[in-house]
Chains A and B, each alone.
Chain A
Amino acid sequence: MTDLTDPKATATLPALPDDDRRDPAAVARAYADAYDELLAVAES
């Protein structure tokens, strides 16, 4: 079972306007730092 008390990375997700939330490319830009952190964990 994954230990949910020990995150390897934490990132802030900025609030997005509705138009951006519906646009995956806009989400990808806004959440880029969080995805960097997540993918670093996946590739470690």
Chain B
Amino acid sequence: MASDDGSMRILVAGGARVDAGKTTFTTGLLDRLGAVGFKPRAGNDYWFDHDDYRRAVEAGRLYGKDAKRLADASTGTFAPEDLNPVHRLWRPSPGPGTGLVGAAHRQFVLDRVGESFVVNARTHVPKSAREHLPLDDAPTVSSVEELNEVTRRLHLPMLDGFADRIRRVETETEAGAAVVESYGDVAVPIRDLSFDAVAVVEPGRMRAYEPAT
């Protein structure tokens, strides 16, 4: 239910892990509402999204095309990083291994958390990333336990603070509306943030749900 103050917050989740159409659906909804879009967690791949990777990294930044599309479609002026605090760079993982975080056929290379970075010590970091991103003093992880510890220390506080940022932006925009896009098939991208409706998007179909209260 929309808030008494007239603000509205929608969660867009995907029924399929990739290419569900979430971002296209979200950009149209932003246009419809005059809203601001957020993608708390995002990721892209050094190999499969190489043009997007190069465009960002050569400018000393790390973001993906989804966050860029949300920034462009939002009411107001935002950089992709304003709307997407946590971005993970992947690369293909040859062979049967599942990589540090257990994802089949790909391994995580590095994370951007706000303006900081976390580097996987057990994979090759592209030379272009080392040249253009401030990785020299970035923490490295070489086990799931270390990644979990860094996640507790960096990622989770960043995401918790981002919930406050979403609420603040809502109050500052005329429409008072926010659309939050989930990452992959992760249903709830951020803790402690309630929604007025949940849209689950898959190719050719949208299902709308009332969120649990």
Contacts and interface: CB of A to CB of B under 8 A. Distances in A.
B51 to A, nearest CB: 15
B25 A44 contact: no
Interface residues of A, number: 33
A44 B31 contact: no
Contact of A13 (B30, B32, B206): B206
Interface stretch (B100-108, B131-139, B158-166, B194-202): B194-202
B89 interface: no
Given A24-B27, A24-B30, A38 B200 contact: no
8 residue pairs, one from A and one from B, having the closest CB atoms: A27-B28, A42-B197, A24-B31, A7-B207, A42-B196, A24-B27, A28-B31, A9-B208
Interface of B: 1-2, 8, 10, 21, 24-25, 27-32, 69, 72-73, 187, 196-201, 203-212
Interface of A: 1-4, 6-13, 15-16, 21-22, 24-28, 30-32, 34-35, 37-39, 41-44
